C-alpha cells in the first residue's frame, strides 16, 4: 500500500471564509506528508491555482478534483459561488446546486477509498457517506471552540427560554467561565424559532458531528484551553486543533494573494501605511459575508471621519449585497451603499483614510507595525488573524456565531472592546441603524486616541502574548503542529490495523 495517508477535503464552496480556512488546513496536512485531494468547483480552482502550484513545487502531494456546479439549473451564472456576500436567495440556490454533486462525489470516494474525509459543517450528508463506506469522516469547523461550547450551553440548558424579554440578560450555564452574559437579541434565531429551515440544517450538523470520527478546528490550545477540555470531556468529542492555519502563509506573496485579487495593489497600501505612525492606524473590515444596511454604512463613515484616526476601510459597495432583491424591485439602485458627499476626496486629500472597495490583503495589513486596532465583525477567520498579528479589536458582530466570538475576545481573552451592537441579524440587511456614529467614534477614540489609557496598554500586552503563542503553536513542536502529525499517525495506524485484520 502507498505509505502516504490520503485525505479528501470537502470545503463549503458557498462561503469565502470557509474555503480559505479549509484550503490552508489541507495545505498544512500536505506539508506533513499526507496526500491531499481538495474537492472544488472550477471558479475556486482558478482562484487558488497559484497557491496549490506553489505547494506542489515544494514537493507537497496536493491537488484539486474539480466538479462543475450546476448553477444553470437554478438560473445562476457560472462561477457565482465566488461572489462576496451573495444574497440569501443566491446562497440557497447554490446550496441546492451543490446537492446535485452528492452522487458524483460519492462515486469518487468509492473509487479512490481515501483514508478519511474532512468535511465542512455544511455537508452533514458526508457523515452517512463515511459510515456506509467505512471511511472516517472528520467534521471541519471554521469557527473556534468557545462559540461551539456556547451553542452547546444554549442547547442543553435553554437559559434564553427563562427570560421575559429580548433585552433581559442571562448567563450561559455549564461553561468554564461564569461571566458569559447574553440577551435573546444577541443569539441566532434558530435557537428561538425551532424548526426553521436553517435550524433544521443546524440540527443535521450536530447529528453529523456525533456520527463523525472526530472534529478538526482552526484554533490552538493555548487560546482557549478550558474550552478544549470542555469540548473533549463534557461534550465527548475527539478533537484536533490545527490553527491558526493562516500562519502557514509565510511569504508576502502568499499573504497578498490569499483569497482574491486585491482591489488596490498591495504595494500602494503598504506605502500608505508606511507613512503613518506606529500603531496609529485602525483597520476596518467586516469580512466577506456580513452585510450592513446603507444607513449604517453612512453612519460608520461619519464616525470614522469624526474620530480623526487614520484608517483603512474595506468598504465594499452595496451592489454586492441584495442584488437579487433589488432586481425583484425593478432594478432600483437607490438602496445602494453610498459614502457621504465628498468623503473619499476629503480622506484622500487629508491622508486620514484609505478606502478599498472590494478585497484587501488582510494578513499583510494586520501584520504592519503601524496598525494599532481592528474594527471587525468578529468572524472567526478575522478574529484569529487579528490575534495572530497581535492587534486589539473593536468588535461589531452581525450574524452566525459572531456574538459568541465577541464574548471570547472581550470577556475571556480581554483583548477587545464592544462597539455596542445589541442585535443579531440575518444575512439580509434591514434598513435601520443598530449602532450610532457616537458609539463608533467613542470606541475608536478609546482604543486608538488615548481614551482607554492603561487599559489599552494592558490589552496590547495580552494580545501580543497570544500572538506569540499562536506562532509557536503552528511551528515545529507546537501544539497545533503536534495535532496535525498525531492525526496523520492515527490514520496510518488505523489503516495498518485494518490491513492486519483482513
Per residue in 368-426, pLDDT (tens digit) is 999 999 999 999 999 999 999 999 999 999 988 999 999 999 999 999 999 999 999 87
How many Cα atoms sit within 13 Å of 257 on the Cβ side? 15
Is residue 89 predicted with pLDDT exceeding 70? yes
Domains in the chain: ranges and CATH? 6-247+474-500 (3.40.50.2000), 265-470 (3.40.50.2000)
pLDDT for position 201: 86
Q: Which of 24, 115, 120, 483 is catalytic?
A: 120
| 160 included as an active-site residue | no
Whole-number pLDDT of residue 333: 42
The residue annotated as part of the active site, out of 18, 60, 123, 160, is 18
Sequential DSSP letters for 261-274: --SS-HHHHHHHHH
Strands 181-183 and 169-171: antiparallel
For residue 8, the surrounding DSSP H or E stretch is: strand 6-10
- Whether 252 is catalytic is no
For 112, the grid coordinates are 479512490
| 323: three-class secondary structure by DSSP | helix
Percent of the chain with pLDDT over 90: 75
Question: Which H or E run contains 138?
Answer: strand 137-141
Selected residue with higher pLDDT from 328 and 180: 180
pLDDT value at 308 more than 90: yes
Classified as helix, coil or strand, 258 is coil
Report the C-alpha gap between 283 and 301 in whole angstroms.
13
Strand order in the sheet with 311-314: 353-356, 311-314, 281-285, 371-376, 393-395, 416-418
Residue 79 corresponds to which cell in the numbers above?
462561477
* Confidence bin at 499 (pLDDT 50/70/90): low
| pLDDT for the residue numbered 337 | 64
Question: What is the C-alpha separation between 32 and 60, in angstroms, rounded?
Answer: 8
What pLDDT score was predicted for residue 280?
A: 98
Q: Report angle CA 31, 32, 37 to the nearest 5 degrees.
A: 65
Phi, psi at 163, each rounded to 5°: -105, 160
Report how far residue 56's alpha carbon sits from residue 104's, in angstroms, rounded to the nearest whole number.
Answer: 26
Amino acid at each position: 500500500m502507498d505509505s502516504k495517508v490520503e485525505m479528501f477535503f470537502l470545503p463549503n464552496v458557498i462561503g469565502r471564509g470557509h474555503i480559505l480556512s479549509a484550503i490552508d488546513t489541507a495545505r498544512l496536512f500536505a506539508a506533513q506528508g499526507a496526500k491531499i485531494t481538495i474537492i472544488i468547483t472550477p471558479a475556486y480552482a482558478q482562484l487558488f491555482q497559484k497557491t496549490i502550484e506553489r505547494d506542489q513545487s515544494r514537493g507537497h502531494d496536493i491537488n484539486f478534483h474539480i466538479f462543475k456546479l450546476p448553477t444553470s439549473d437554478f438560473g445562476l451564472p457560472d462561477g457565482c459561488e465566488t461572489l462576496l456576500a451573495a444574497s440569501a436567495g443566491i446562497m440557497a440556490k447554490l446550496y441546492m446546486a451543490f446537492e446535485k454533486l452528492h452522487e458524483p462525489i460519492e462515486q469518487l470516494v468509492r473509487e479512490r477509498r481515501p483514508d478519511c474525509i474532512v468535511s465542512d459543517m455544511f455537508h452533514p450528508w458526508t457523515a452517512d457517506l463515511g459510515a456506509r463506506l467505512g471511511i472516517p469522516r472528520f467534521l471541519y469547523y471554521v469557527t473556534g471552540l468557545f462559540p461551539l461550547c456556547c451553542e452547546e450551553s444554549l442547547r442543553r440548558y435553554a437559559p434564553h427560554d427563562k427570560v421575559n424579554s429580548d433585552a433581559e440578560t442571562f448567563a450561559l450555564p455549564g461553561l468554564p467561565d461564569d461571566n458569559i452574559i447574553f440577551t435573546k437579541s444577541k443569539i441566532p434565531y434558530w435557537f428561538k424559532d425551532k424548526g426553521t429551515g436553517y435550524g433544521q440544517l443546524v440540527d443535521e450538523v450536530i447529528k453529523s458531528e456525533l456520527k463523525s470520527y472526530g472534529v478538526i478546528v482552526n484554533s490552538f490550545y493555548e487560546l482557549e484551553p478550558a474550552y478544549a477540555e470542555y469540548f473533549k470531556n463534557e461534550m465527548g468529542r475527539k478533537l484536533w486543533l490545527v490553527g491558526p492555519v493562516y500562519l502557514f502563509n509565510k511569504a508576502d506573496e502568499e499573504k497578498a494573494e490569499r483569497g482574491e485579487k486585491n482591489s488596490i495593489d498591495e504595494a500602494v497600501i503598504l506605502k500608505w501605511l508606511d507613512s503613518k505612525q506606529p500603531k496609529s492606524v485602525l483597520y476596518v473590515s467586516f469580512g466577506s459575508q456580513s452585510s450592513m444596511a446603507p444607513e449604517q454604512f453612512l453612519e460608520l463613515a461619519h464616525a470614522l471621519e469624526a474620530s480623526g484616526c487614520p484608517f483603512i476601510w474595506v468598504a465594499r459597495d452595496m451592489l454586492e449585497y441584495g442584488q437579487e432583491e433589488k432586481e425583484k424591485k425593478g432594478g432600483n439602485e437607490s438602496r445602494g451603499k453610498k459614502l457621504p458627499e465628498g468623503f473619499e476626496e476629503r480622506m484622500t486629500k487629508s491622508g486620514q483614510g484609505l478606502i478599498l472597495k472590494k478585497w484587501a490583503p488582510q494578513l499583510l495589513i494586520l501584520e504592519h507595525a503601524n496598525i494599532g486596532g481592528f474594527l471587525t465583525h468578529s468572524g472567526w477567520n478575522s478574529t484569529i488573524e487579528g490575534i495572530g498579528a497581535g492587534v486589539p479589536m473593536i468588535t461589531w458582530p452581525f450574524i452566525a456565531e459572531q456574538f459568541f466570538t465577541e464574548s471570547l475576545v472581550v470577556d475571556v481573552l480581554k483583548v477587545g472592546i464592544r462597539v455596542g451592537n445589541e442585535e443579531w441579524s440575518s444575512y439580509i440587511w434591514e434598513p435601520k441603524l443598530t449602532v450610532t456614529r457616537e458609539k463608533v467614534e467613542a470606541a475608536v477614540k478609546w482604543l486608538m486616541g488615548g481614551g482607554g489609557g492603561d487599559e489599552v496598554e494592558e490589552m496590547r500586552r495580552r494580545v501580543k502574548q497570544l500572538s506569540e503563542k499562536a506562532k509557536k503553536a503552528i511551528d515545529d513542536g507546537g501544539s497545533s503542529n503536534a495535532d496535525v502529525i498525531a492525526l496523520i499517525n492515527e490514520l496510518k495506524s488505523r489503516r495498518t490495523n485494518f490491513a492486519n485484520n483482513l
